[in-house]
Chain A
Amino acid sequence: MKKSTVKKLLVVMLTFAMVFAMAACGGGGGGDEGSTDAAGGFTIFNSKSEIQGAFEELAKQYTEETGVPVEVYMSQDTVAAHLATKYASKDPYTLNMVDPKDIYSLGVQYGLDMSGMDWISDTTRAIEVDGKVLGYPTCVEGRGIIYNGTAIKNITGKDFDPASIKTLDDFTAICEELKKGGMEAPVGILKDDWSLAAHYLAQAIEEREDVDGYVASLKAGEAKIIDDPKFNSLMDTFDVLMKYNAFAANASSVEREQVEQMLSEGQIAFMFGGNWDFALMKDFDYTGGAGMMAVPQKEEDAYTGKLLGGGSKYFYIDASEGTTPEEQQMAKDFLEWLRTSEAGQTFISDTCGMVSPFASNTIPVNDDLGAAIKTYADADMLIPNYLYFPDDHISVMGAKMQEYLGGKCTREDLAAAYDAYWQANK
């Protein structure tokens, strides 16, 4: 071979080598999850970051028991945004854990109809759209007022009975008693937009017979929320919460951890929140004795004593061309195993402290607030969540609720903004 030919060959090879090396660099930067192909098995997307470690352990156990390889992935990104990138690259997960409202978008587009599966008769919380069963519930979650029973007992000297707080007057009375007993401000309020808008303000929509009809009349501009007794009743309660807020000076900047620490350690007695708050509370010097009660309101009605809640985090099985029928079958088998096997039930109730949506799971919930939710769920005392809030509800109305919390606007301003919001979202 001539020397010049060797040189030429070398140049060409070098060029290719560089191009491929760079192309490989570019292609590899897809994210933190790596490849999503479990050889001969299937993949799961988990959107509850706090249970990722336990979920991976469970997957290992499942593989040992059944021989089916399972890989569990997680992303810190928004659920819909992350799954969108997976669909764009035609590499979807087989089993996807998403929020209930995502079932109505992602599930409807890509989900497999699970009609006929055994688990459906074991729960009341499956999501069915147009006759197709698309969402498998993972857990039940609820929201209301979290109380620290130990902190209350330390001041009042007697065991706290949440059933004794039915009306706003009862609540004000206990707050006054706690105040006299030395707890200067017994309430904490989270300023986070999701808590204020999606959890608190949303109650004004959810606590009524005909939710869809009311939303429709708000959208049409026929109803004004300022005239609504439920809205006013809940805002009266919010005013009382604000009156006893331990963080009044920093109401719109206080961090979630600060409030939950005080609640956990018994420096405050009440906070509006949900069972998910326990994961944070138990990280501090938790006094024990926390539980949940309904949001007290002026008048007693059909919703008195009830929490708001329902199925939270749903699985759908991918039915797009990126998933084979074998993988879909494996995912179905896994869902049944998760519900019926002891390992699966223990994982949900004990390891993760979640409330199982399935009647057949009788393992006690290893979480004080979760256990409280289970009591309400078993007694059919959960008011269903409204799942059709528009996507910008949290940020737009959350900001307005923060203004109200910070004393920057009146109830009338808030109501007018809410009316305008619905009318803009026809």
Chain B
Amino acid sequence: MNRNTFSYKLKQVLMFAGPGTILFFCVVVVPFVYGLYLTFTSWDGVSPNKPFVGFENYVAAFQDSAYWIALGRTAIYSIFAVVFINVLAFALAYLVTSGVKGQNFFRAGFFVPNLIGGIVLGYIWKFVFNRAYVALASAIAGGQVASPLSTTGGAMFCLIFVSVWQYAGYMMLIYVAGFMSVSDSLKEAAMIDGCTPSQAMRNVTIPLMRSSFVQCIFLSITRCFVVYDVNLSLTKGEPFGTSVMAAMHVYNTAFTYKKYGLGQAEALILFLVCAIVGVTQVVIGKKGEVEA
């Protein structure tokens, strides 16, 4: 059989890439394009009519101050969460690859929070902050102590704390893979050349793990920017609507306020912001990547 003919190649492509492509097209491309179309309508999410309104929704999205406040809040939340997630994940990865006793048990243990869904996790921590913490702190301090979820700063702290707790274990695994990919011989060579362990870490291990950093930071940025589940179950946007993140605002606009077109336009802006931040970070990160 001639393997260089067009029909042979087409068949091969269809057989292996066809199902995936069709599926990708159906569940990603079509909804995306349809969603884009809906941003030009004033559809309420229910009506059979979808009146075309041009760029009105985009104008409204830019004028929706609550949306931009929520987006700004999401950016602040993301900055703190991404930094803490990665610092903690790196530290944990270092600990569980340094040869401590039972390190496999610890790896599994730190990863477990990631297996619990965001909704369940939010409810668990809500109980901890609202009931356990309040009961314990009130008993110690004497008198009623306020829950951290009842203040604006406290609610943000709780959101960041829970996200770090959720994702640090997952990112730890990627850092563990990074640590294991750095050959011991390189570290040993550095030590023989007179490096202290911290110098070897800074000048040999970390530069060689750059791809792990790029991946982890990308994953944590994109996940933090579109956070919804923990936001819903832990704070529900409260107190006084001061912990409403961008995704929650988009959901409320589209489904609760029945402004589907506007919600969709705001979702698109969120997507673009998220994509620009994520891709920029990957491009910058990849530039300086080194190989052993």
Contact = CB atoms under 8 A, between A and B. Distances in A.
A131 interface: no
Interface stretch (A19-27, A143-151, A354-362): A19-27
B46 A109 contact: yes
Contact of A23 (B22, B241, B256, B257): B22
Contact of B240 (A83, A254, A400): A400
Nearest to A406: B239
Contacts of A83: 46
Contacts of A21: 19
A11 B44 contact: no
A406 B150 contact: yes
Given A78-B256, A395-B241, A253 B147 contact: yes
A80 B241 contact: no
Contacts of B150: 250-253, 406
Interface stretch (B10-18, B94-102, B223-231, B272-280): B10-18
Contacts, number: 105
A260 to B, nearest CB: 14
Interface string B1-40: 1000000000100110011001100110000000000000
A392 interface: yes
B46 A78 contact: no
Given A19-B22, A78-B256, A253 B146 contact: yes
Contact of B149 (A193, A253, A392, A395): A253
Nearest to A19: B19
B47 A109 contact: yes
A26 B27 contact: yes
B130 to A, nearest CB: 6
A21 B143 CA distance: 62
A391 B257 CA distance: 5
B145 A15 contact: no
Nearest to A15: B15
B1 A81 contact: no
Interface string B43-66: 011111000000000000000000
Contacts of B126: 255
A81 B23 contact: no
A105 B144 contact: no
A191 interface: yes
Contacts of B134: 250
Kindly name the residue among A15, A80, A252 whose own CB sees the greatest number of chain B CB atoms within 10 A. Answer: A252
Nearest to A191: B238
B19 A391 contact: no
B255 interface: yes
A343 interface: no
A250 B240 contact: no
B252 interface: yes
B240 A399 contact: yes
A22 B130 contact: no
A423 to B, nearest CB: 15
A120 B145 CA distance: 54
A403 interface: yes
B252 A395 contact: yes
Interface string A236-272: 0000000000001111111100100000000000000
A23 B26 contact: yes
Contacts of A14: 15
B258 interface: yes
B149 A87 contact: no
A406 B240 contact: yes
A248 B26 CA distance: 52
Interface string B149-164: 1100000000000000
B238 A15 contact: no
A252 B239 contact: yes
B280 to A, nearest CB: 33
A158 interface: no
A305 B69 CA distance: 43
Nearest to A106: B46
Given A109-B46, A406-B150, A252 B1 contact: no
Contacts of A89: none
A195 interface: no
Contacts of B1: 4
B45 A81 contact: yes
B258 A80 contact: yes
Nearest to B138: A249
Nearest to B1: A4
A249 B145 CA distance: 7
B238 A402 contact: yes
Nearest to A252: B239
A18 B19 contact: yes
Contacts of A81: 45, 255
17 contacts: A22-B19, A26-B26, A80-B255, A80-B258, A105-B47, A106-B46, A248-B144, A250-B146, A250-B147, A250-B150, A253-B147, A253-B149, A390-B257, A392-B257, A399-B240, A402-B240, A406-B239
What 3 A-B pairs have minimum CB-CB distances, sorted nearest first? A399-B241, A249-B144, A253-B150
Given A26-B27, A109-B47, A392-B256, 5 more contacts: A22-B22, A78-B255, A250-B130, A253-B130, A399-B240
Interface of B: 1, 11, 14-15, 18-19, 22-23, 26-27, 44-48, 126, 130-131, 134, 143-147, 149-150, 237-242, 252, 255-258
Interface of A: 4, 11, 14-15, 18-19, 21-23, 26, 78, 80-81, 83-84, 87, 105-106, 109, 191, 193, 248-255, 258, 390-392, 395-396, 398-400, 402-403, 406, 408
